[in-house]
Chain A
Amino acid sequence: MVKLSPARREALWAYLLISPWIVGFIIWTAGPMLASLFLSLTEYNVVSPLRWLGLANYSSALFSDPLFWQSLKVTFTYAALSLPSGLAVGLAVALLLNLNVPGLSVWRAIYYLPSVISGVAVAVLWQYVFNPRFGVLNWALSLVGIKGPGWLADPKWALPALAIMSLWGAGGGMVLYLAALQSVPTALYDAAKVDGAGAWQRLRYVTLPMISPVIFFNLVMGTIGTFQYFTNAYVMTQGGPTNATLFYNLHLYNNAFRYFRMGYASALAWMLFVIILLLTLLIFRSSTVWVYYEGQLRGGRG
């Protein structure tokens, strides 16, 4: 056996230990990425041999597939409806809990609980809650004299309904904001008070800047998450009525696994990737304006 130097031995161990990830990266990430980029330039339905198309898939998505634009519209509209409201609710609950209310852990558990249950069961539950004739939501609205809309059955209300449903999971963000709020040094509030800042001003000029990195993080993840939105739309509406809830991911699924247009679906996937990259870049760029990092003040951690 060859005697290895300690440094080489260490390096060998390192490569050996991380090899599951390296192999996985090649099989499940790099390989499929290249393959889907190639497939996106072809027509392929798994059964018959593939046919080279060049950029035709991309141009037909952009210029002759109205559902592509519809799905983008649905996805962005949903993001615009659900992200700000989820942020507002999560932050409001966190601010209330941060007022030293008694029973903090109980309240936190109640608000957090709905966000840990997800998936098909929750979709089925809300489908029933939103039932226009005998759903509990329209009953609750009728108590205050409002005649509820048709929700999932109404093209105008289906997407807002899903956004309302997303508020049920706002507790996930709440936990994050609460942790961030609790790490804001009390000295800052005391200093603001000495300077004569009222409650609103303390919120505006101390609290919000201090927790802006967390808000920023949630915004980025939320935007990306909207493009992965699938289960609820599939279970509750199947994209309907009249494509009012045809999320981008559902459109992609339909093309890949309903119509077996694997090439076109790959093109959709790559466009999704580009959109997410651009959005993330945009949010990061804008973040310098409104996100405050403590490190900047103190000379920073790097």
Chain B
Amino acid sequence: MRAQLRGTTALRLIPRRQALAQLAALVVLAVGAVGMLFPLVWMLSSSLKPLSQIDLFPPRWLPTEQVTVRIGEVAYPLYEVNLDGSIRRLVMIEKVQRTGIFADPADLSQRLEANVKLAKPVERVRLRWENYVEAMTAVPFHRYAINTAIVVFGSMAGMLLSTTLVAYGFARFRAPGLGALFLLLLSTTMLPSQVTLIPTYILFSKLGWIDTLKPLIVPSFFAGAYDVFLLRQYFLTIPLELDDAAKIDGCGTLGILFRILLPLAKPAIATLCIFHFMWAYNDFFGPLIYLQHQEHFTIALGLQSFNAFRARRYDLLMSASLVTVLPCILLFFFAQRIFIQGVVFTGIKG
């Protein structure tokens, strides 16, 4: 907001050279922005197309359909027919090889024959919102959505509970070896997940957890290093005097955490939740290796299997993809500030 105000007033006051530089910057930014939004617009446009317009080149950005005229029981397609230079709107009754039999929609008995090459279909814009219904019902999408919600929110609960406790322990207590343990925790952020992947998979398979949602939820109850680090740093910015005051008022050790620190750490908690949501919602590798039957799939895995089996149905794939990314886009718009602060925080200090 502030930057915006500064920008607009600056435009009026600064010398011409700088104004020109700003104008040039705006033009470049606008061109780039078109490029950034282009794929999303393409996704929206394609999701509303009939299958027949999916592979048109050049593409038709606004999906259309041919206008039909209902006469009695039958819907006849409408054409603009070029009859010796004069163009008439006629319906096609029948097609015999290259010749179309046309008629006036007002009077079907008055028939004309013309080469189909001279007839141009009359089209109107029509957005096929029913693609969305079809995409959602062609696969058990509601099942995927429920599974995804269980995984995302189940693991989020585990993450919040464990991260809060551990971050509190590292931020507010003194104990022999605690510093070394914190260094150990930080060093695990450097560890690529592949190194622990295979034994973890074998462990889950021995436990009989393959093809259940448990492998995607349970590990979150054991505090991830990044999350702990972020929350601990935030706790450190809260003055110790508050803890002491609460203690004098009779607050216990856990009381200080839940009544004093957590309410003050809301921005950090929000950042943790949002980043966890984005990670768990989009996670593909975990579901891919642990889930086998369709009824256990998450949205990400369901979309991939849809993609693998119906590779040509880009109309439905784009509808399904758009529905899939929609929660992330909405979350971004509602929590933009937290996103950007979070990225900057984890980016610079992480």
| Shortest Cβ distance from B38 into A: residue | A136
The residues of B that contact A104 with a CB separation of less than 8 Å are 3-4, 7
The residues of A that contact B29 with a CB separation of less than 8 Å are 93, 96-97, 101, 107
Say whether B222 contacts A100, CB under 8 Å. no
The residues of B that contact A235 with a CB separation of less than 8 Å are 284, 304, 307
- Chain A 26-45: CB-based contact to B (< 8 A → 1; otherwise 0): 01110111011001000000
- Within 8 Å by CB of B339, from A15, A18, A97, A112, lies A112
Report the minimal beta-carbon distance from A116 to chain B, rounded to whole angstroms: 5
Say whether B348 contacts A179, CB under 8 Å. yes
Q: Which of these binds chain A: B113-121, B174-182, B262-270?
A: B174-182
Interface centre among B4, B191, B195 (most CB of A within 10 A): B195
The residues of B that contact A231 with a CB separation of less than 8 Å are 284-285
Report the minimal beta-carbon distance from A37 to chain B, rounded to whole angstroms: 8
Report the minimal beta-carbon distance from B7 to chain A, rounded to whole angstroms: 4
- Within 8 Å by CB of B219, from A28, A101, A139, A256, lies A28
Please measure, in the bound complex, the distance between the C-alpha atom of A272 and the C-alpha atom of B343, giving whole angstroms: 26
Q: Which of these binds chain A: B83-91, B124-132, B198-206?
A: B198-206
The residues of A that contact B59 with a CB separation of less than 8 Å are 134, 136, 139
The residues of A that contact B57 with a CB separation of less than 8 Å are 133-134, 138-139
Report the minimal beta-carbon distance from B13 to chain A, rounded to whole angstroms: 11
Q: Which of A157-214 contact B (CB under 8 A)?
A: 168, 171-172, 175-176, 179-180, 213-214
- Say if the beta carbon of A52 comes within 8 Å of chain B: no
Q: Which of A105-119 contact B (CB under 8 A)?
A: 105, 107-114, 116-119
The residues of A that contact B191 with a CB separation of less than 8 Å are 29, 33, 273
Report the minimal beta-carbon distance from A89 to chain B, rounded to whole angstroms: 8
Q: Which of these binds chain A: B64-72, B95-103, B149-157, B163-171?
A: B163-171
- Within 8 Å by CB of A262, from B25, B26, B196, B202, lies B202
The residues of B that contact A77 with a CB separation of less than 8 Å are none
Say whether A14 contacts B329, CB under 8 Å. no
Q: Known contacts A116-B328, A176-B344, A230-B285; is A129 also within 8 Å of B39 by CB?
A: yes
Please measure, in the bound complex, the distance between the C-alpha atom of A269 and the C-alpha atom of B194, giving whole angstroms: 5
Say whether B282 contacts A119, CB under 8 Å. yes
| Shortest Cβ distance from B298 into A: residue | A120
Say whether A124 contacts B307, CB under 8 Å. yes
- Say if the beta carbon of A292 comes within 8 Å of chain B: no
Say whether A46 contacts B205, CB under 8 Å. yes
The residues of B that contact A249 with a CB separation of less than 8 Å are 194
- Chain B 307-350: CB-based contact to A (< 8 A → 1; otherwise 0): 10000001001101110110011011100100110011001100
Say whether A272 contacts B332, CB under 8 Å. no
- Within 8 Å by CB of B169, from A14, A31, A105, lies A14
Report the minimal beta-carbon distance from A8 to chain B, rounded to whole angstroms: 9
- Within 8 Å by CB of A10, from B1, B174, B320, B332, lies B174
- Within 8 Å by CB of B176, from A11, A31, A110, lies A11
The residues of A that contact B26 with a CB separation of less than 8 Å are 101-102
Say whether A11 contacts B175, CB under 8 Å. yes
Say whether A111 contacts B329, CB under 8 Å. no
Q: Is the interface of A mostly helix, strand, loop or mixed?
A: helix
- Say if the beta carbon of A290 comes within 8 Å of chain B: no
Say whether B343 contacts A102, CB under 8 Å. no
The residues of A that contact B110 with a CB separation of less than 8 Å are none
- Say if the beta carbon of B221 comes within 8 Å of chain A: yes
Report the minimal beta-carbon distance from B256 to chain A, rounded to whole angstroms: 11
Say whether B173 contacts A13, CB under 8 Å. yes
| Shortest Cβ distance from A140 into B: residue | B38
Report the minimal beta-carbon distance from A241 to chain B, rounded to whole angstroms: 15
The residues of B that contact A140 with a CB separation of less than 8 Å are 38
- Say if the beta carbon of A54 comes within 8 Å of chain B: no
Say whether A134 contacts B329, CB under 8 Å. no
Report the minimal beta-carbon distance from B213 to chain A, rounded to whole angstroms: 17
- Say if the beta carbon of A217 comes within 8 Å of chain B: yes
- Say if the beta carbon of A280 comes within 8 Å of chain B: yes
The residues of A that contact B42 with a CB separation of less than 8 Å are 125, 128-129, 136
- Say if the beta carbon of B184 comes within 8 Å of chain A: yes
By a beta-carbon cutoff of 8 Å, the part of chain A in contact with chain B is 7, 10-18, 20-25, 27-29, 31-33, 35-36, 39, 46, 93, 96-97, 99-105, 107-114, 116-122, 124-129, 131, 133-134, 136, 138-140, 142, 168, 171-172, 175-176, 179-180, 213-214, 217-218, 224, 227-228, 230-231, 234-235, 249, 252-253, 256-257, 262, 265-266, 268-270, 272-273, 276-277, 280
- For the A-B complex with A15-B169, A124-B317 known, give 13 more contacts whose Cβ atoms are closer than 8 Å: A11-B175, A13-B173, A21-B222, A28-B222, A32-B197, A46-B205, A99-B21, A102-B7, A131-B55, A136-B39, A228-B192, A235-B284, A273-B194
